[in-house]
Structure 1
Amino acid sequence: MDPHSTIAEFSLVKGGLLFETERRLRRGPRKRHDLVWRALGFSAIGWLPLLLFSLPSGGATVNSLFLELQIHAQLLIALPVLLAAEPYVDGRLCVAVRQFINSNLVAADGLQTFEEDARRAMRWRDSYLAEALLLILAYALTFITPADATRSWTLSGDGFSMAGWWNLAVSQPLFRFLALRWIWRGVVWSAFLLRVSRLPLTLVPTHPDMMGGLGFLPICQASFSPVVFSLAVVVAAYTSRVEHKGLSSNPVVYVIPLVVIAAVAVVLVFAPMGFFAPQLVQAKRRGDEGFSKVASNHSRQFEHKWFRRGPEPELLGAPEMSSLADIGTAFTLARRMRLLPFDMRALYAVVGAALAPLVMLLVADRQFISVLKFIHEGLR
């Protein structure tokens, strides 16, 4: 058996109660467009019955439903994106796990523990109990939310309409379960990184990524951007609903919640990078000490040959010049080594995903110019 088979098969998506149920219901081999149909199918389960149950009540009820931007954002945008993001995020995480091995970042005496940590993460992924608790939490969050009398499409007489009951029993729990499942996956992945950060790692102070060879991790973390976008879409839609109810007429009401979401997303997505800071500090100290000694000896020998000996040696083609440049480059890289894996492109991806719904919302509500004017006045 391949000693690294667990690493090759690592996945945080291909497991759990919902995945196993779908796998057993699916007949025949997986096809190219299955992912699209799966996302559309779940979206239709959540949204289409709301429309069908509202039609018999007349045009006013249907109009009330179509004005419900938050519901459409949840079920027609965020929910499909949460499902469609699974293979992308899973692929990036799998590449990151293999990169630890392929780049020899894990010392030989830590390989077995590394595999055990990967198997533990997949056992957590497969936990039926965890998904059952997430489903219970999704229903709890749905039913503790007070009924909103302004949602006429959810009410009929003194109680809920059929559309209202479907929203409570299926649509909202479905979306919240999928969102909570992504949070659970993030917890499992973060726990895996925490355990890996405690292994003996062979970080290289002179690695060109200036992160000891961990430069792939921030890029990997940025793969969670679609999940951030999904949650930001819902927050933006909710903000729009609050504004339309007359609780605020200031266009900046659109901006502040999404800026907060962006800040929180950056903290949550990149916080696991801090687990590696102690080993990066140690590697940097080793690099500073080792390369200072090497650079000092090399510079002393260079000075003795070129400045303290007899006639000047031939400059053209002198190997000492190349070695001096090389040792200077290595020394600079070691000195510039970061104490935290960080990449600006990854940061832009997460922040952009969190703020992307803002542009769509402001354009839809014709507030884009107002916000630009507010920002311009604030900068003056």
Structure 2
Amino acid sequence: MNNPHALAESFSIVRNDALFRLQRAIGLIPEEGNGILRRAIIYSLLCWVPLVIWAFFTGRLMPDDDPESLAGHYGIHVRCLIAIPLLIIAEAGAQAILPVCLAQFLRTGLIDEKLEPAFRAIIADGIRLRDRIFPWVVIAGLILTWTVSFALAPNKEEVSWAGLEVNGHGFGSWWFLLVIRPIFNVLLLAWIWRLILTSIVLFRIAMLPLNLVPAHPDGVGGLGFIQRIPIIFSPMAFAVSAVIASSWAHNVIYHGLPVPSLYIQMGMLVAILVFLILMPLLSFSPLLAKTKKRAAREYGALLAGHGRLVHERWIQGKEIEDTPILDAPELGPSADIQTLYEAANAMRPVVINKVTLLMVVVPTAIPMLLVVATQWPLRSTLGKLLMALL
């Protein structure tokens, strides 16, 4: 593919990887399209419906006053009905956002003709890395090891709703062990691998001598468009947070676990997820810092030269020969060139703004806030907040 624009726009961290090819081979993904909604429904119902039917006929669905019924273990339902379909639906965002952002490096001139061969090589290497089978062998090995270890030494608290039999697992725990958890873990580890792949590609691009514009209005030299990339992984953060928070909610509601004892764990989980998702953008920080430092010297020299000539002409009354810098329309009067210098001096060293941060923090924090709300006097708390705002 000789056109670098087309190559960048064709790059996807999802399409044609080993998991994608496997799902297409068994008919879950049609020959045309991605079958995202269909897969989300199939996986969700496959995991949840047989378990509910089993629980209903065995009296484990919602027996009165039994905190260990299936209905009371919110983590199971959240995995099946929210996390698993969300991890599949998130593929749509990845397909729509990342290729456009990569092509934008070319459209904005950050990658010029001299850098195009290196940029094309980075994208091609990313595609080859995505298509490799080795990462999926590692994922399969991790899941197999985890499954075997659980089968041999089950965590009874995790499957207490299944009523483990004396001689081993019952249908409920086996279904959770061999179907629900592996499907969730495959999808989750797939997204972790995609995050790593995205980080590798962006890190290599950040190593190129990009043609940053220090005075660009976005404050990051023209890289503002990549601030959309974290939204690709926000569903993953929400899914992880929702599964963990739903397990905490069970212990809070049925076992009297005090919510304040979870605050440190909540804070650590938010911090880890936010850092991991914003990590690809941090690859550009060294380049931005270097560019800002150089721009301070270059724009400072430009402003000094321009200001000195203006001072000599209009304050000292000297005859100044025609000089391009005083007549350059792109610089304009002294006020305009000073604004240009201030814009370059205000360049940020990180491609992260408040909106980018909120795109990650909010979906990560919402499930935990719901857990906290279970022990808050919600009405009075909202009333106090309203009064404080008024």
Match in the other structure for 1:210: 219
Distance 1:289 1:366, change over 3 A: closer
1:185 to 194, 198, 201: 194
CA distance in 2, matches of 1:16, 1:159: 37
Contact 2:24/2:31 (<8 A) preserved: no
Distance 1:8 1:271, change over 3 A: closer
Instruction: Name the stretch that deviates more: 239-248 or 226-235.
Output: 239-248
**What amino acid is the match of 1:148?**
K
SS of residue in 2 equivalent to 1:160:
coil
Match in the other structure for 2:90: 85
Match in the other structure for 2:170: 161
Distance 1:239 1:97, change over 3 A: same
Matched, 1:46 2:47: yes
Shift of 1:27: 7.9
Shift of 1:261: 1.9
What CA deviation, in whole Å up to 9, does each residue of 1:92-144 have, x standing for no partner?
11111111111111243321121111122222222223223212212323443
Contact 2:23/2:29 (<8 A) preserved: no
Shift of 1:264: 1.2
Aligned 1:110-149 pairs, distance under 5 A: 110-145=115-150, 146-148=154-156
CA distance in 1, matches of 2:202, 2:187: 23
1:283 to 291, 294, 306: 291
What CA deviation, in whole Å up to 9, does each residue of 1:23-51 have, x standing for no partner?
2315866479x422210111111111212
Matched, 1:9 2:10: yes
Shift of 1:176: 0.8
SS of residue in 2 equivalent to 1:108:
coil
Identity %: 27
Contact 1:252/1:371 (<8 A) preserved: no
CA distance in 2, matches of 1:186, 1:342: 17
2:363 to 346, 353, 361: 353
Distance 1:210 1:245, change over 3 A: same
Contact 1:235/1:257 (<8 A) preserved: no
Matched, 1:337 2:347: yes
CA distance in 1, matches of 2:281, 2:18: 30
Contact 1:226/1:353 (<8 A) preserved: yes
Match in the other structure for 1:301: 309
CA distance in 2, matches of 1:290, 1:27: 54
Match in the other structure for 1:151: 160
Q: Which runs of 5+ in 2 are unaligned?
A: 64-68, 319-325, 386-390
What CA deviation, in whole Å up to 9, does each residue of 1:141-185 have, x standing for no partner?
344343315614252343211121111111101101100110000
2:104 to 99, 102, 107: 99
Distance 1:27 1:168, change over 3 A: closer
1:251 to 245, 259, 263: 259
Across the aligned residues of Structure 1 and Structure 2, the Cα RMSD in angstroms comes to 2.8
**What amino acid is the match of 1:206?**
A
CA distance in 1, matches of 2:129, 2:8: 16
**What amino acid is the match of 1:183?**
I
SS of residue in 2 equivalent to 1:156:
coil
Shift of 1:19: 0.9
**What amino acid is the match of 2:220?**
M
CA distance in 2, matches of 1:281, 1:60: 59
CA distance in 2, matches of 1:372, 1:143: 46
Q: Moved runs in structure 1, 4+ residues, more than 6 A?
A: 318-321
